[in-house]
Structure 1
């Protein structure tokens, strides 16, 4: 029996995933978490076989949380289930230690297949993301955004989507001053001067819709 920890800050979504899992005879949900702190506590107390993780939760979250989980439970498979379909974010997530990457618009059967694959030590990436990753692998043009740190990349994507400094600070649980510092470094590393140029850059590289 595959024992699963569901981590997502939306209760309705957690319940929906739980119901999907209940149809599978070989797996069950042993715990739920709505923030990074609860994830780490549940890993220690419940010892799940797999962590089903959303990237956008109260701190710690995202890639930072994946790295923390790897420290606490090095062998625990992490399957990311997110709304973000950018290949660069998927690549960074996998490098941080995730064993799988799925988007929330996928079919329930794909989620169950991914859980089984990852729980056995395999890797699973949604087909559209996998195709983008393969293309990027053979892309010899090292785009500047690949040189951004993980936190800088998180800020970069949110700026590209038009979010303000305050909103980004609340979203990432960091101070507005820290966001502004990251913004300055992002513009500097990408050789850009304005947010408008940043948005055009993100669209040109197909990092946002």
Structure 2
């Protein structure tokens, strides 16, 4: 039996996952709407798999993954995020995630990923695996590797046109704190405008300009 915990701040998403995972070999042993709640649940139930969203109020999915690994918990994380957010699988794998899927994946792919990761293997969505392979062939590091998990998250939201207040509301941070993150990441990347940031993300294959609205 594969024990699974669902960590996503959207109840409809968790309901969909729960319906897909109603299988003889899978058992849902809990749900959480925040990463903090998810971490407590994972510590208490020690499931084989945690399906984790990236963007949640407060702690992000990346931070949750890092904490699970640091705590030496037996749970393997599969990140399931929206298509537009499929920008940093390498960061998540470095943090200790064992799987990476987009929410547009088929139900059968989700089941396959859960079973594969539960058996001790990694699972990457085919498009993500291709991107990682190409990046390895290029042999070049990315300046975005210098950003912290939260800075990378803020950068992604900035290039999608989100205002500081909106970013703060989503991440449960004050606008002043978000502004500080923005200043730090701009300094690290040596850019002075969100448009320059978007250009840099495009150059490094982190941004599809057709699916994103660049803010000011």
TM-score (norm 2): 0.88
Once the two structures are TM-superposed, the CA of residue 69 in structure 1 deviates from its matched residue by 1.9
How many angstroms does 1:185 deviate by?
Answer: 2.0
Match in the other structure for 1:151: 150
- CA drift of 1:87 comes to 6.0
**Cα distance change, pair 147–37 in 1 and its aligned pair in 2 (3 A):** closer
1:21 matched to 2:38? The reply is no
In structure 2, the gaps of 5 or more residues are: 209-216
Q: Cα RMSD (Å) of the superposition?
A: 1.8
Matched residues in 1 for 2:87 and 2:207: separation?
11
SS at match of 1:138: helix
Partner of 1:138: 137
Per-residue CA deviation, residues 39-95 of structure 1 (Å, 9 max, x unaligned), is: 122123323221111112222222111112223453211111111466651111111
Structure 1 gap ranges (5+): none
Distance 1:191 1:72, change over 3 A: closer
TM-score (structure 1 length as normaliser): 0.91
Where 2:16 maps in the other structure, the secondary structure is helix
Cα distance in 2, alignment partners of residues 46 and 37 from structure 1: 14
